[in-house]
Amino acid sequence: MAYANIIVDISHEAVDRPFTYIIPDRLLDACHPGTRVMIPFGQGNRLKLGIILEITSNPDVPIGKLKEIESVVLSQDATDSRLIELAFFIKQQYGSKMIDALKTVLPAKKAYREKASATDLSSYEGFNDDSDGLSEGRIIPSDKQQAIIDDICADYDKGAAGTYLIHGITGSGKTLIYTELIKHVVDSGRQAIMLIPEIGLTYQTVSRFKKYFGDRVAIMNSTLAAGARYRYYEQARNGDIDVIIGPRSALFMPFEKLGIIVMDEEHEGAYKSENSPRYHAREVALELASMHGASVVLGSATPSVESYYHALKGDYKLYKLTDRAMGASLPHTDIVDMREELRSGNRSIFSGRLRTLLTTTVAENKQAMLFINRRGYAGFVSCRACGEVLKCPHCDVSLKEHRSRGMLVCHYCGYETAKPKACPSCGSKYIMSFKAGTEQIEEEVKKLIPGVRTLRMDGDTTAKKGSFDKIVRSFGRHEADVLIGTQMIVKGHDFPDVTLVGILAADIGLSGGDYRSGERTFELITQAAGRAGRGDDPGQVVIQTYQPDNYSIVRAAAQDYEAFYNEEILYREISGYPPIMNIMAVMASGKDADETYMYVNSLVSVCRAAGLDAGIIGPGKAGIGKINDNHRYVFYVKSTDKDVLIKLKDAMEEHIDKDKGTGVSGRVLVTFDFNPMNPF
């Protein structure tokens, strides 16, 4: 017999849980994931509308208690069916419960009954009064920009929608290309999705799109109220909006006539979900576009290694923009060896070169940005006498000092404690914090330049709603001379008065034990350097590092992506990392260390028994062995064929389902991650 797990009346009630029904023989051929059916529901057996999530041969409840599906509803909403199909794709490709995949793609109706905070557009209204560096009229594309626009539009007009990668250096005018492409699609009667990492959703972007599309564009971000989010969902379904702009969740707007998906800064890790289902927006966008016959445009100054690999193979059509728009030139870049600075007696955070340029920049009434890939006042805190590192008692990570609050904080579980006056291990008073953070940099800038006006942008200063935009607007109005921050300051901002960018501890991400560390370092340095010299004045960049010869730093300083890619792909080939091979990470976490370790070994045995062509590494302790008192063990499976990994995932999920009665699988949580962006 066949059974269907069905969610009841998804368009009118909150997503709760699926119910299992028997599929009668007469309906077997008509029932598939996404099919709408009428089912007897509740004690009165009232007929209600439901949607099949999945077909199974193993019901979770006794067969004697199950009811039969009454009938199949043939006239179904195409947009809902596509989203259900997309949820099934996500479940199959990334490993999750169907209900979690469904919650990812469909908002709950009950949110619509809530009173919405105002739409997020209203929070951007004031930005239209500020100068954003844009002329009031339409900006005319350059010849190179127009050639790309014409080529993609020609494919679209003849129904040959494809996938395109625009590799354009910082400031080359990629956004203008996006808006022109979207306008062409909208003018043809179809709709568009514009994906932007949350961090890049700036007032400048919003202003630009509002000038093009007016009230027919909706803007999403993480602070958008659930009621407003559902209203956008309904507006998209009814054809009341043409363009949605937002982070990866914007993919799931129910456009009936989707014509194009644009993914700006496509290399960004924010496009990969870090919660189950751990989907990547790029892959889901390609699947969604395939359902609609839509175009996909990927863009970046530093394309992901995966995308560039596919472009060189011919899977994507590649375009290059090697010049900055409006005739601006790339900044001059200096790499400063901080080992030499130390040998010469300079123990400051700033090299002599950066000190000189910073002082001159402020004196000339220009602006500077100082970037460090850190958060808080310092990195780990340790005892200089015995070497003891102060760690979180619940997680296997060091605590970070936040000096403004006088506290040591765990950035994983939120645990806080006062900084001890003596080492808890040996009693020494020499408790010191290492690795400068944004607060210390700000203090040093004020010491160096008395009276300097500074702004700090990091996880602490942007925690309050609206604070991120407030800082950006203030700096854009030249109310500060120096902006100091973490990676959020280097994304998507265009400040014409910024002539100096200082990159501190440029190599800090190279020792994280992650195969993507070189790629991330190259991206961050290139993006940070790209903030300088975007106006009329030339830009200057100072890269401070203890590894001045590292290829990712050298190539980023030269803004030479191709040279970086050639070295990076060789490393990936030798080591067997994506995109050459696919990796599936499998992590088990639980309160009992021995039980969790035994269970993860049982999953390894399932993979070995499958007899498929895949290599297994581990299991062993995860990089962070414990979080919130949960012990974490991980193993990795490699294969050139991703379908092999999906089959192994399916086998492990079946093993987990069969173990439900033992109680072990209820105490041990198993997580799958395909081609992970971050190590466990």
What residue ranges define each of the domains in the chain, with the CATH number in brackets?
A: 2-106 (3.40.1440.60), 114-322 (3.40.50.300), 330-374+438-572 (3.40.50.300), 377-435 (no CATH), 582-674 (3.30.70.600)
Residue-wise pLDDT for 213-222, tens only, equals 888 888 887 6
- 619, 604 in Cβ contact below 8 A? yes
Q: Are 468 and 457 in contact (CB under 8 A)?
A: yes
- DSSP secondary structure of 190-249: -EEEEE--GGG--HHHHHHHHHHHGGGEEE--TT--HHHHHHHHHHHHHT--SEEEESGG
3-24 core/surface letters (b: 16 or more CB in 10 A; e: else): bbbbbbebeeeebeebbbbbbe
pLDDT given for residue 263 in this prediction:
97
Q: How many CB atoms lie within 10 A of CB 329?
A: 11
pTM: 0.85
265: left (phi over 0), alpha (psi -120 to 50) or beta: left
Contact between 299 and 285 (Cβ < 8 Å):
no
Residue 13 · residue 110 · CB < 8 Å = yes
Chunked in runs of 10, what are the mean pLDDT values of the chain (680 residues)? Answer: 82 62 93 86 87 84 91 72 86 86 73 44 41 54 94 96 93 90 96 84 72 85 73 86 92 94 94 93 97 96 96 97 76 91 89 96 96 64 78 81 78 82 89 75 94 90 79 91 88 83 86 79 89 83 92 94 96 92 95 94 96 90 88 94 96 85 78 88
Helix (H) or strand (E) holding 544: strand 540-545
Under DSSP, the state recorded for 275 is S
Residues 582 and 447: their CA atoms lie apart, in Å, by 50
In this structure, which amino acid lies at residue 478? H
Q: Helix H segments across 530-592?
A: 551-557, 561-575
pLDDT of residue 124: 43
DSSP3 helix / strand / coil % (the chain, rounded to 5): 40, 25, 35
Cα angle vertex 174, ends 181, 190, to 5°? Answer: 20
**Per-residue pLDDT tens over the stretch 360-392:** 999 999 999 999 876 444 566 878 777 778 888
pLDDT at site 172: 84
Provide the phi-psi class of 618: left if phi over 0, else alpha when psi is between -120 and 50, else beta: left
CB 409 within 8 Å of CB 322: no
| CB-CB contact of 489 with 441 (8 Å) | no
Predicted local distance difference test score (pLDDT) of residue 12 = 44
User: Could you tell me the two tokens for 352?
Assistant: 């002599």
**Residue 425: partners with Cβ closer than 8 Å, 6 or more residues away:** 383, 386, 388
Cα-based distances in Å from 314 to 122, 164, 580, 646: 43, 10, 15, 25
Q: Is 206 exposed, middle or buried (0-12, 13-18, 19+ CB in 10 A)?
A: buried
**Residue 537 has what DSSP assignment?**
S
Give residues with Cβ within 8 angstroms of 62, minimum separation 6: none
Buried/exposed code over 70-98 (b: 16+ C-beta within 10 A; e: otherwise): bebeeebeebbbbbbbbbbbbbbbbbbbb
